[in-house]
């Protein structure tokens, strides 16, 4: 599996350890971009319900730590 594909697979896995590990591997600017993309996935029309749920789970897992990062 390609590294980028593995990253998104882990981030959207629903598994807190994988989500944290993937998110913490990013630099600050990329973390912001990923959060914005996850927010769009979780809230915007056009995403499959499973994608929306996976994105929301990722946000729920990483959100306690993001306020101190930005």
Region of 60 (left: φ > 0; alpha: ψ -120 to 50; beta: rest) is alpha
Residue 53 lies in a domain: yes
The stretch 46-58 carries a mean pLDDT of 97
Asked if 58 and 11 count as a contact pair (C-beta separation under 8 A), the reply is yes
> What's the domain count of the chain?
1
Domain containing residue 14: 3-63
Residue 16 has pLDDT above 60, yes or no: yes
Residue 19 lies in a domain: yes
Residue 35 lies in a domain: yes
Residue 58 lies in a domain: yes
Residue 54 lies in a domain: yes
Residue 45 lies in a domain: yes
Residue 38 lies in a domain: yes
Residue 23 has pLDDT above 70, yes or no: yes
Q: How confident is the model at residue 17 (pLDDT cuts 50, 70, 90)?
A: very high
Residue 70 lies in a domain: no
Residue 55 has pLDDT above 60, yes or no: yes
């Amino acid at each position: 599996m390609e590294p980028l594909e593995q990253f998104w697979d882990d981030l959207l896995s629903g598994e807190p350890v994988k989500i944290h590990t993937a998110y913490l591997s990013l630099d600050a600017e990329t973390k912001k971009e990923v959060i914005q993309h996850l927010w769009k996935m979780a809230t915007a029309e056009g995403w499959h319900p499973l994608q929306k749920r996976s994105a929301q789970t990722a946000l729920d897992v990483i959100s306690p730590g993001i306020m101190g990062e930005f």
